[in-house]
Chain A
Amino acid sequence: MNRHLLSAADLGREEALRILDTAEHLDRALSGREVKKLPPLRGRTVVNLFYEDSTRTRTSFELAAKRLSADVVNFAAKGSSVSKGESLKDTALTLEAMGADAVVIRHSYSGAAHRLATWVQGSVVNAGDGTHEHPTQALLDAFTIRRRLRGATGDLDGLRVAIVGDVLHSRVARSNVLLLTTLGARVTLVAPPTLVPRGVADWPVGCVFDLDSVLADTDVVMMLRVQRERMAGGFFPSAREYSRRYGLDARRMAMLGDTAIVMHPGPMNRGMEIAAEVADDPKRSTIVEQVTNGVSVRMAVLYLLLGGSEQLGD
């Protein structure tokens, strides 16, 4: 595996499957244990460097590292170079000097993880950079899809995935497009034209503006969080209109095939992009599972990046 995980594009099919398989392996190794801890990263230091508040992602990485016995430091970076705090480079050199083996970075600027990787010796894991990518989210989504629809083995060949919502500003969408297509899934983006990035015609995906038209032929519906601030930018007229045209409600859920699942990376705007009865649907909704799987997948990423040497017990 590469030294860093900056983009889902860094992962070929074999590497991606290796992460998913390792996650399954780690998950089994932990299940049934009274003490949820494995030894392979003992003595290694993982720094969570979060420039954006994201309790769920930070906690997920923290748990993942701790369950592998790594030492975890949470470095809540208030303010970047813009707000005249310490520059990212100086922070990077500081962490380097303290001997961080891996830095998990969440940042509001696209490309921040790439920049950080040029300044540190250790591994860099991109935990979300601006509107660019969030590769571990895509990995946990692929893991969840595979468990639900493929018996937790192999790739996603031929599965039909609709990614619905604010694709333009979504790092989750970009990473999922890359990873899911690498794993053989067929991806279609569904969004109002204002929220479709330029150049999508060159992406290996379909793109439609009408949500109803895709639902009957979809195995996975992945809803994206839509920020209400986008209204101010004129991307859509009102939350209500957005919800009517692109929200997943009970009527639309009924149009799905029998085995289709509904995903959301969280945090959700209930009533906006997803109705409560859909989010809580016990058969289709994977939203809680996604959170659980996130820890397993992040364990696998840290394990493989840091070259955990000790054998994993079964």
Chain B
Amino acid sequence: MTNPYLLPDERTGMNSLVLRNVRPYGEAQLDVRVENGVITELGSVRPTAADDVVDGQGAVLLPGLVDLHTHLREPGREDAETVQTGSAAAALGGYTAVFAMASTEPCADTAGVVEQVWRLGRQTGLVDVQPIGAVTAGRAGTQLAELGAMADSPARVRVFSDDGFCVSDSALMRRALEYVRAFDGIIAQHAEDPRLTLGAQMNEGVVSGRLGLTGWPAAAEEAIVARDVLLAGHVGSRLHVCHVSTAGSVELLRWAKGKGWAVSAEVTPHHLSLTDDLAESYDPIFKVNPPLRTDADVAALRAGLADGTIDCVATDHAPHAIEDKETEWGAALPGMLGLQTALAIVIETMVEPGLLDWRGVADRMSVAPARIGALAEHGRPIAIGEPANLVVVDPTIRWTVSPAALVSKSRNTPYAGRTLPGRVVATVLRGRLTSRDGAVLDAVPA
């Protein structure tokens, strides 16, 4: 039977691409031939007239990046982002797969919504859009959503999260962890004890005290991380901790992993690079949840990512309309763009200081997130016979972030005006270029 969702060139099939002068994992330079979505040659490749050719000029070749935490805003806030614009941002950022968070309007708590998002992603075709399902109905934290229905839908949901809200009820969290074992699912927890963060606006510390902004204490995250790793250990389920932001959480995760429990965690680029003193401008471009923390937290997060205590980098790409950011700090929505700057920030904070080599980047930004989210075709080795989901990045090129030049529908990057290392030269999804030299390639009509 023909799959009605197959895209035109998947049905008809042929394409051939040669990536010349690229260095897999930053190692020896070679050429790569890709045919029909699969790597078929590695070494010295002579292109033919029929080939698409990209000359990497010594740039680094990595498996296509995978983002476990993206807000695409569709359905509901198409003024801030759509699957189309978010996919374009992902392709330009070097991503070949993104996990779309459930915090849409209506939220992704039914098979219908996850299937809609999944289908929109397929139609756009720039990146594999893998929906995340809500853990609880309406993300209200009181009753499990129909997790099995979402798992059984064409979207094949395996990651479940109420992100934006914590599953704070301990008994409900335990049941969710247990229930998803039936289909090898995983609960991705937004770790925030809501009673400790009533009205919270920024990290609780010296700066919040001075600015008169209600504090979001590190303990509110760590209390939930501690509880949840204990629950995951007790019931033998997989737990993923979203956007870890504190040094204490890193310690708890290290302890839990030492016990052999199936716990994984992500850190965002902004928590690797920015600190709470940026709130002194009262510019809500720096307002995010969990909030920016301190230098000591940043150092612990980088160390945790380097030693594998934190498994992966996830963007928490959170587009917001201008009117939701050009306000008083307290009235603004929390969140930052991330897809187009994530790799550059990882290069700046991890590769350039020597904390992570390119194999490490491939693991933390592709292999690990694909494994956690159970995406079989992504995060694969660069080897003959493997799916050609790839990114070529030139770490020697520096570029200046201009909000107006981003392809996201929103402009809320915290890096405006910053010069960052690492330019994505090309992104390849199943053998087809989705971005090249900073331009999106609309390969597939919707």
Interface residues of A, Cβ cutoff 8 Å to B: 80-82, 87-89, 107-112, 114-115, 118, 129-133, 171, 174, 197-200, 202-203, 233
A88 touches B328 (CB 8 A): yes
Q: Please, which residues of chain B bring their CB within 8 A of the CB of A114?
A: 281-282
**Known pairs A110-B282, A197-B209 / 5 extra A-B pairs, C-beta < 8 Å:** A114-B281, A131-B214, A198-B208, A198-B215, A203-B209
Asked if A81 meets B211 with Cβ closer than 8 Å, knowing A114-B281, A198-B204, the reply is no
Asked if A110 meets B331 with Cβ closer than 8 Å, knowing A87-B323, A87-B326, A202-B206, the reply is no
Selected A-B contacts with CB under 8 Å, 23 pairs: A80-B328, A81-B328, A82-B331, A109-B330, A110-B201, A110-B211, A110-B282, A112-B328, A114-B282, A115-B283, A118-B283, A130-B212, A130-B330, A131-B212, A132-B211, A133-B212, A171-B212, A174-B210, A197-B208, A199-B208, A199-B210, A202-B206, A203-B209
Report Cα–Cα, A133/B213, bound state, in Å. Answer: 11
7 nearest CB pairs, A to B: A111-B282, A199-B206, A132-B212, A197-B209, A109-B328, A131-B212, A109-B330
Q: Please, which residues of chain B bring their CB within 8 A of the CB of A110?
A: 201, 211-213, 282, 329-330
Contact of B327 among A81, A174, A200, A203 (CB under 8 A): A81
Report Cα–Cα, A199/B277, bound state, in Å. Answer: 13
Q: Please, which residues of chain A bring their CB within 8 A of the CB of B206?
A: 198-199, 202
Report Cα–Cα, A80/B215, bound state, in Å. Answer: 22
A interface footprint on B185-209 (CB within 8 Å = 1, 0 otherwise): 0000000000000100100111111
Q: Which residue of B lies closest to A132 (CB)?
A: B212
Report Cα–Cα, A296/B204, bound state, in Å. Answer: 37
Q: Please, which residues of chain A bring their CB within 8 A of the CB of B204?
A: 198
A interface footprint on B75-108 (CB within 8 Å = 1, 0 otherwise): 0000000000000000000000000000000000
Report Cα–Cα, A115/B210, bound state, in Å. Answer: 17
Asked if A111 meets B328 with Cβ closer than 8 Å, knowing A132-B212, A133-B212, A174-B210, the reply is yes
Asked if A115 meets B209 with Cβ closer than 8 Å, knowing A87-B323, A198-B215, the reply is no
Asked if A89 meets B209 with Cβ closer than 8 Å, knowing A111-B282, A114-B282, A115-B282, the reply is no
Q: Residue among B205, B208, B282, B327 with the most chain A CB within 10 A?
A: B282
Q: Which residue of B lies closest to A202 (CB)?
A: B206
Report Cα–Cα, A84/B205, bound state, in Å. Answer: 31
Q: Residue among B211, B213, B281, B328 with the most chain A CB within 10 A?
A: B328
B314 to chain A, nearest CB (A): 29
A112 to chain B, nearest CB (A): 5
Q: Please, which residues of chain B bring their CB within 8 A of the CB of A89?
A: 326-327
Report Cα–Cα, A198/B211, bound state, in Å. Answer: 11
A87 to chain B, nearest CB (A): 6
Asked if A115 meets B329 with Cβ closer than 8 Å, knowing A130-B212, A132-B212, A174-B212, the reply is yes
Q: Residue among B208, B212, B282 with the most chain A CB within 10 A?
A: B212
Report Cα–Cα, A81/B333, bound state, in Å. Answer: 12
Q: Please, which residues of chain B bring their CB within 8 A of the CB of A80?
A: 328, 331
A interface footprint on B323-356 (CB within 8 Å = 1, 0 otherwise): 1001111110000000000000000000000000
B351 to chain A, nearest CB (A): 34
B297 to chain A, nearest CB (A): 15
Report Cα–Cα, A114/B283, bound state, in Å. Answer: 9
Q: Which residues of B208-231 have CB atoms within 8 Å of chain A's CB atoms?
A: 208-215
A199 touches B207 (CB 8 A): yes
Asked if A107 meets B215 with Cβ closer than 8 Å, knowing A198-B205, A198-B206, A200-B209, the reply is no
Q: Which residues of B298-337 have CB atoms within 8 Å of chain A's CB atoms?
A: 323, 326-331
Report Cα–Cα, A257/B103, bound state, in Å. Answer: 61
Report Cα–Cα, A112/B327, bound state, in Å. Answer: 8
Chain B: how many interface residues by the 8 Å CB criterion?
A: 24
Asked if A88 meets B327 with Cβ closer than 8 Å, knowing A198-B205, A202-B206, the reply is yes
B401 to chain A, nearest CB (A): 20
Report Cα–Cα, A131/B208, bound state, in Å. Answer: 10
A interface footprint on B164-204 (CB within 8 Å = 1, 0 otherwise): 00000000000000000000000000000000001001001
Q: Which residues of B135-183 have CB atoms within 8 Å of chain A's CB atoms?
A: none
Q: Please, which residues of chain A bring their CB within 8 A of the CB of B210?
A: 174, 197, 199, 203
Report Cα–Cα, A31/B283, bound state, in Å. Answer: 44
Q: Please, which residues of chain B bring their CB within 8 A of the CB of A131?
A: 212-214
A interface footprint on B262-275 (CB within 8 Å = 1, 0 otherwise): 00000000000000
Q: Please, which residues of chain A bring their CB within 8 A of the CB of B198?
A: 233
Report Cα–Cα, A5/B77, bound state, in Å. Answer: 38
Q: Which residue of B lies closest to A118 (CB)?
A: B283
Q: Please, which residues of chain A bring their CB within 8 A of the CB of B330?
A: 82, 108-111, 130
Report Cα–Cα, A133/B283, bound state, in Å. Answer: 17
Q: Please, which residues of chain B bring their CB within 8 A of the CB of A233?
A: 198
Q: Residue among B198, B204, B205, B206 with the most chain A CB within 10 A?
A: B206
Q: Please, which residues of chain B bring their CB within 8 A of the CB of A133?
A: 212
Asked if A111 meets B331 with Cβ closer than 8 Å, knowing A87-B323, A198-B204, A199-B206, the reply is no
Q: Please, which residues of chain B bring their CB within 8 A of the CB of A108?
A: 330
Report Cα–Cα, A151/B207, bound state, in Å. Answer: 37
Q: Please, which residues of chain A bring their CB within 8 A of the CB of B323?
A: 81, 87
Q: Please, which residues of chain B bring their CB within 8 A of the CB of A199?
A: 205-210
B253 to chain A, nearest CB (A): 24
A87 touches B327 (CB 8 A): yes
Q: Please, which residues of chain A bring their CB within 8 A of the CB of B212?
A: 110, 129-133, 171, 174
Report Cα–Cα, A138/B209, bound state, in Å. Answer: 18
Report Cα–Cα, A233/B206, bound state, in Å. Answer: 21
Q: Please, which residues of chain B bring their CB within 8 A of the CB of A197?
A: 208-210
Report Cα–Cα, A200/B208, bound state, in Å. Answer: 11
B198 to chain A, nearest CB (A): 8
B80 to chain A, nearest CB (A): 16
Report Cα–Cα, A133/B206, bound state, in Å. Answer: 16
A interface footprint on B240-269 (CB within 8 Å = 1, 0 otherwise): 000000000000000000000000000000
Q: Please, which residues of chain A bring their CB within 8 A of the CB of B329?
A: 109-111, 115
Q: Which residue of B lies closest to A88 (CB)?
A: B328
Q: Which residue of A lies closest to B199 (CB)?
A: A233
Q: Which residue of A lies closest to B203 (CB)?
A: A198
Report Cα–Cα, A253/B385, bound state, in Å. Answer: 86
Report Cα–Cα, A199/B331, bound state, in Å. Answer: 25
